Structure 1
Amino acid sequence: MDGYNIFLIMLAVYIAGLVSVGWYFNKKQKSITDFWLAGRGIGPFPLGFSAAASWLTAGGVLAVIGYFMLQGMGSIWAFVAPNIIALLVIAVLVKKIKNLPAITQPELLEQRYGSIVRWPIALIITVVMILFAVADVTGLSLVLQTFYGLDPFYAAAIVAIAVSIYVTLGGLSAVVWTDVIQFGFLSLFVIAMAFVAVGTVADGGLQVPAISSSELFGSLPGDWWNPLSIGLPMVLIFCFAIIPGWIIEQDPWQKVWAARDAKSASLGMIIGSLMITVVFTACAVIAIALSYIFPDIAGMGFPAGMSLAEPALLAFVNERFASAPAVIALSAIGLAAASMSCADTFSTSGASCISRDIYQRYIKPDATMKEMMLVNRASVLFIILAATAGSFVIPNIIDAIHIATFIASSSYFFPLMGGLYWKRATKEGAFAGMVVGFTVQVALVALDLIKTPPLAPSYLESIHPVLMSHGVIVGMSLSAIAFFLVSFMTKPSSRVNLAPFFEEEAEELARYEAKGINENDPEYRAFLKNLNEKVTGERAHLQLNLRASGSLSWHELVDKLKASSPAWVTPTGLDSIYRLTHGDMLACVAVSRGSGEQDIWLKAEPRLETVGRQKRELFTAYEELKKVLGQKNISLDFY
């Protein structure tokens, strides 16, 4: 059996395993939280492995090895160090992020500023996720083309089919647990290749003079080991250009929201940074060995040698295992795992923006979960196909990742982080910061791509060092100026918008309206019997699934609930309505559409010490809902 057929069999088995994971979690989904946030029950280790896998694309690994070959440790600031630092910073921000009652960042920003910012940020995040996925498709294309001579279309097809099936079946739970599997494949592959590459040098394989490991590592020039060899100003520019964009990336925030508690989320991010460090250390070892095996490539310098340095590992595998096609197939699977582990995360984040933040928010607020699943599946396919098209325009793997990062940094770093910690931030300021940052950064990227000759230093960087990285420092600076200046010039945000982010503001709105309840009341006991309760970490997840006896007009229902009590508010549009009765917004009762046309879901996520009070609050909300529907002669049944 030839190597290509071996690869196809292994790939089929591997994808079947991933799909089975998605199918398993599909059976466990009973709510929106289950699908988009894995039921908020993910522990620190799967979270950490998933966080690491989501930032270790196949193309990224190949590019990092290329950087090490051409620039040594000074190259860590272009990709390696920002990965590690960003996850550690998110670990510090966990407590603030974890308690926000949102599923996506656009939803969060609408809560903070209003509807004016939700659609532009959803579009921006979708663009950013497509650009990140470009690196995945490009990396896997390079692998399949080098090993088997396949057209890039097949890489996109593999990623699109596999990811769209298991993601839309199992939601974020499937993403996290398949990431664990995929990180295992990738890390074992990279660590094994480090041993193989060093062993090849020590044995004198591939017709290179044999030298010991100590001689190999000692033969490097001293400057190779210096992480500041590119100069402190360049280090600072890289940090300011990349780290903000990765701190605010939507996918790690969704995983923080999916963690069972703040401690698990923080520990998970720390574990993720350690796992990334292990893989990148192995990449450095591989690069050292490959520099000895392919001295001509290592001597070409950056950026001229990057086109050969990126696929150097693939060339090594092809030569070293020419007589062992099964090993080449396993290598292809390991790198395919890396591509899928990132692509599923990016497509999930982007698809959630399309389905939840655009389709449900603006096109069909009363969309059921079944409809949302269909839109989500189509959105995943759209993102992968768009990434495939983008891979022909942006063939450089790291450049695709950097462009996505720079657009994110310039567009919404200040509106997002300012909204979390600065009360004076306004919707007009946030909108101005996003529009200015996005427009300027896209224009600078386009100018740089058009004006830069192949394999030459970037056009903007040749004008002035501060314009390196496609001028992201300029884009971020103008975004910050617009955000702060317009915020100071406009009216402060309303208390309803501030409530989810600043507890003291929420307390000012609090209405303790839950009526006294006789716990022996048969109706209350029936309610408790049908209430789904699950404890994860410091919170309980309460959900009541209801089915109406007749057809629902969701818009009318929301309007009548808001008219029945001032406690009912819609801070993120008509798709969800909250009963704002106390400072902890995540614990407040929320009502949304269920999986079918006549299904309604009520949920609350109180802290354990307030579960009893929130059960009574949920019952009060249920009775108010029942009363409103009763006016239309519609009854409610538990299911």
Structure 2
Amino acid sequence: MDGYNIFLALLAVYIIGLVTVGWYFNKKQKSITDFWLAGRKVGPGALGFSAAASWLTAGGILAVIGYFILQGMGSIWAFVAPNIVALLVIAVLVGKIKNLPAITQPELLEQRYGSSVRWPVALIITVVMILFAVADVTGLSLVLQVFYGLDPLYAAAIVAIAVSLYVTLGGLSAVVWTDVIQFSFLSLFTIAMAFAAVGTVADGGLNTPAISSSELFGSLPDVWWNPLSIGLPMVLIFCLAIIPGWITEQDPWQKVWAARDAKSARTGMIIGSLMITIVFSACAVIAIALSSIYPEIPQMGFPAGMAQAEPALLAFVSERFASAPLIVAISAIGLAAASMSCADTFATSGASCISRDIYQRYIKPDATMKEMLIVNRVSVLIIVLAATAGSFIIPNIIDAIHIATFIASASYFFPLMGGLYWKRATKEGAFAGMVIGFIVQVALVVLDLVKTPPLAPSYLETIHPVLMSHGVIVGMSLSAIAFFGVSLMTKPSSRVNLAPFFEEEAEELARYETGEINEADPSYSAFLKNVNEKVAGERTHLQLNLRTSGTLSWHELVEKLKSSSPAWVTPTGLDSVYRLTHGDMLACVAVTRGSGEQDIWLKAEPKIETVGRQRKELFTAYEELKKVLDQKGVKLDFY
């Protein structure tokens, strides 16, 4: 069996394993929270693996090695350090993020500002996720091209088929646990290659003079080890350009929401940053060895040398293990795992924006979960296909990642973070900040791409250093001016919009208490037997699945619930209606569509110490829902 057939056989086994994971979690899904947020029960270890895997694409690994070869430790600010720092900052923000009652960032921003901001940020995040996925497709294309001479379309096909299968089966649970598998493959591959590259130099392999490890590392100039070799101003510009976009990236926020408690989320993000540090350290070792094996590459300098530096590891594997096709195939699987571990995250985040924040929110608010899963599956394919098309336009791996990051930083960093901590932020300010930041940043990126000759410094950077990174500092500054300026000139947000973010506002709004319920009442006892109750960390998840006797008009039902009691509100549109009764919005009862046309789901996620009160709250909500349906001659049954 030749090397290519070995690779195909291993790939088939690997994909079957991933799909099996997706199928396993598919059987466990009984609520919308189970699919989108893994039931909010992910522990710190799995979260750490997933956080690390989601930010370590195959293309990113190859590019980081290339940067180390050409610029040494001074290159860490372009990718390595922002990865580590962003996860640590998110760990600090966990306390604010974790208890927000949202599944996606567009939904979160609608709760904060209103419906006018949900669709633009959903579109922006979708574009950003596609651009991130470009790096995955490009990286895997490079792997398959160097190892087996395959067309880039094969890489897209592999990513599209595998990711769409296991993600749409198992939701975020499948993403998290396949990330554990994929990160294990990637980290073992990277560490093994570090030993192999250093060993090759020590043995004098590939026509290189044999030198010891101490000589190899000792021969590097001092400037190679200096992380500030690019200059402090450049370091600050890189940090301001990249870290805000990665702090506000949707996928790690979804994983924070999926954690079983705040401690697990915080610990998971810290573990993820440590794991990334280990892999990047191995990349640095690989780069040092490859600089000795291919001494002509460092002499090319940056950026001219990147065309040779990025695939240097692939060239090494092909040459060093030319007589061992199994090792080459395993290497290809390890890098394919890295591509999929990022692509599944980006596809999940982007598809959630299309299916939940655009389709369900604006096109069909009464869409069932079955319909949503179909739309989600199609959305995953759309994102991967769009990323494939983008890979032919943006062939540079890191540039694709940077462009996505810069658009995120310039468009929704200030509206999102400002909404979390600044009460005076308004929907008009958020909309202005997002639109202006997005338009300006996209225009600057297009100008830079069009005006920059191949392998030359960026056009905008040649005008002034502050315009480096496609002028993102300008884009962010204009977004900030629009956000803060327009917010101060417009009417403050309503209390309903402030309630999920500022507990004191929620307490002022929550004046509707549950009536007295006799716990010995047979109807209450029968009700409790049908409530699916499970503990995840600091919260208890209450889920009640109901089926109506006839087809219902979801729009009419929601409106009648809202008119029956002022406690019922729709802060994120008609797809979800909340019974706002106290300051903890996550614990409030929410009513959503179920799997089929006649299914309704009631859920609440109270803290363990308040679960007794929330059982009664759920019963009250059920009784109010039943009363509204009785008026239409529709009966409710448990299932």
> TM-score normalised to the size of structure 1?
1.00
- C-alpha deviations, 1:432-452, integer Å up to 9, x for none? 000000000000000000000
Once residues 62 and 108 of structure 1 are traced to their aligned partners in structure 2, the CA distance between those partners, rounded to angstroms, is: 35
After TM superposition, the structure 1 = structure 2 runs for residues 413-428 of structure 1, keeping only pairs within 5 Å, are 413-428=413-428
Instruction: Give the superposition deviation at 1:28.
Output: 0.1
Paired letter, 2:17 = G
- What is aligned with 1:621? 621
Contact 2:78 2:238 in 1 (8 A): yes
Q: Does 1:479 align with 2:479?
A: yes
Instruction: Give the superposition deviation at 1:111.
Output: 0.1
- What is aligned with 1:286? 286
Paired letter, 2:261 = D
Once residues 629 and 307 of structure 2 are traced to their aligned partners in structure 1, the CA distance between those partners, rounded to angstroms, is: 65
Once residues 322 and 537 of structure 1 are traced to their aligned partners in structure 2, the CA distance between those partners, rounded to angstroms, is: 50
Once residues 495 and 416 of structure 1 are traced to their aligned partners in structure 2, the CA distance between those partners, rounded to angstroms, is: 18
Instruction: Give the superposition deviation at 1:331.
Output: 0.2
Paired letter, 1:26 = N
Once residues 610 and 586 of structure 1 are traced to their aligned partners in structure 2, the CA distance between those partners, rounded to angstroms, is: 12
Once residues 295 and 275 of structure 2 are traced to their aligned partners in structure 1, the CA distance between those partners, rounded to angstroms, is: 30
Instruction: Give the superposition deviation at 1:512.
Output: 3.8
- What is aligned with 1:376? 376
Paired letter, 1:10 = L
- What is aligned with 2:580? 580
Q: Does 1:523 align with 2:523?
A: yes
Once residues 634 and 299 of structure 1 are traced to their aligned partners in structure 2, the CA distance between those partners, rounded to angstroms, is: 77
Once residues 228 and 268 of structure 2 are traced to their aligned partners in structure 1, the CA distance between those partners, rounded to angstroms, is: 29
Contact 2:84 2:273 in 1 (8 A): yes
SS of 2:56's equivalent in the other structure is coil
After TM superposition, the structure 1 = structure 2 runs for residues 425-504 of structure 1, keeping only pairs within 5 Å, are 425-504=425-504
- What is aligned with 1:5? 5
Instruction: Give the superposition deviation at 1:249.
Output: 0.1
Q: Does 1:542 align with 2:558?
A: no
Once residues 515 and 424 of structure 1 are traced to their aligned partners in structure 2, the CA distance between those partners, rounded to angstroms, is: 35
- What is aligned with 2:217? 217
- What is aligned with 1:188? 188
Once residues 119 and 518 of structure 1 are traced to their aligned partners in structure 2, the CA distance between those partners, rounded to angstroms, is: 45
Once residues 482 and 360 of structure 2 are traced to their aligned partners in structure 1, the CA distance between those partners, rounded to angstroms, is: 30
Instruction: Give the superposition deviation at 1:46.
Output: 0.3
Q: Does 1:169 align with 2:169?
A: yes
- What is aligned with 1:34? 34
SS of 1:184's equivalent in the other structure is helix
- What is aligned with 1:70? 70
SS of 1:322's equivalent in the other structure is coil
Once residues 486 and 515 of structure 2 are traced to their aligned partners in structure 1, the CA distance between those partners, rounded to angstroms, is: 44
Once residues 64 and 37 of structure 2 are traced to their aligned partners in structure 1, the CA distance between those partners, rounded to angstroms, is: 31
- C-alpha deviations, 1:105-126, integer Å up to 9, x for none? 0000000000000000000000
SS of 1:547's equivalent in the other structure is strand
Instruction: Give the superposition deviation at 1:298.
Output: 1.3
SS of 2:136's equivalent in the other structure is helix
SS of 2:624's equivalent in the other structure is helix
Contact 2:512 2:567 in 1 (8 A): no
- What is aligned with 2:19? 19
SS of 2:206's equivalent in the other structure is helix
- What is aligned with 1:362? 362
Unaligned ranges ≥5, structure 2: none
Once residues 22 and 523 of structure 2 are traced to their aligned partners in structure 1, the CA distance between those partners, rounded to angstroms, is: 38
Once residues 525 and 434 of structure 1 are traced to their aligned partners in structure 2, the CA distance between those partners, rounded to angstroms, is: 50
SS of 2:300's equivalent in the other structure is coil
Once residues 553 and 592 of structure 1 are traced to their aligned partners in structure 2, the CA distance between those partners, rounded to angstroms, is: 13
- What is aligned with 2:342? 342
Number of residue pairs the alignment of both structures matches: 639
SS of 1:577's equivalent in the other structure is strand
After TM superposition, the structure 1 = structure 2 runs for residues 221-236 of structure 1, keeping only pairs within 5 Å, are 221-236=221-236
Once residues 512 and 218 of structure 1 are traced to their aligned partners in structure 2, the CA distance between those partners, rounded to angstroms, is: 71
- C-alpha deviations, 1:341-376, integer Å up to 9, x for none? 000000000000000000000000000000000000
After TM superposition, the structure 1 = structure 2 runs for residues 258-273 of structure 1, keeping only pairs within 5 Å, are 258-273=258-273
Contact 2:514 2:620 in 1 (8 A): yes
Once residues 590 and 314 of structure 1 are traced to their aligned partners in structure 2, the CA distance between those partners, rounded to angstroms, is: 51
Once residues 553 and 511 of structure 1 are traced to their aligned partners in structure 2, the CA distance between those partners, rounded to angstroms, is: 29
**Identity of paired residues, percent?**
87
SS of 1:268's equivalent in the other structure is helix
Paired letter, 2:500 = P
Instruction: Give the superposition deviation at 1:511.
Output: 2.3
Once residues 521 and 543 of structure 1 are traced to their aligned partners in structure 2, the CA distance between those partners, rounded to angstroms, is: 21
SS of 1:8's equivalent in the other structure is helix
- C-alpha deviations, 1:192-226, integer Å up to 9, x for none? 00000000000000010000000000010110000
After TM superposition, the structure 1 = structure 2 runs for residues 296-315 of structure 1, keeping only pairs within 5 Å, are 296-315=296-315
Paired letter, 1:248 = T
Unaligned ranges ≥5, structure 1: none
Once residues 162 and 485 of structure 2 are traced to their aligned partners in structure 1, the CA distance between those partners, rounded to angstroms, is: 46
Instruction: Give the superposition deviation at 1:289.
Output: 0.1
- What is aligned with 2:553? 553
- What is aligned with 2:57? 57
Paired letter, 2:196 = V
- What is aligned with 2:253? 253
Contact 2:128 2:408 in 1 (8 A): yes
- What is aligned with 1:239? 239
4+ runs of 1 displaced by more than 2 Å? none
Instruction: Give the superposition deviation at 1:520.
Output: 1.3
- C-alpha deviations, 1:360-393, integer Å up to 9, x for none? 0000000000000000000000000000000000
- What is aligned with 2:197? 197
Once residues 362 and 585 of structure 2 are traced to their aligned partners in structure 1, the CA distance between those partners, rounded to angstroms, is: 23
Instruction: Give the superposition deviation at 1:531.
Output: 0.4
- What is aligned with 1:590? 590
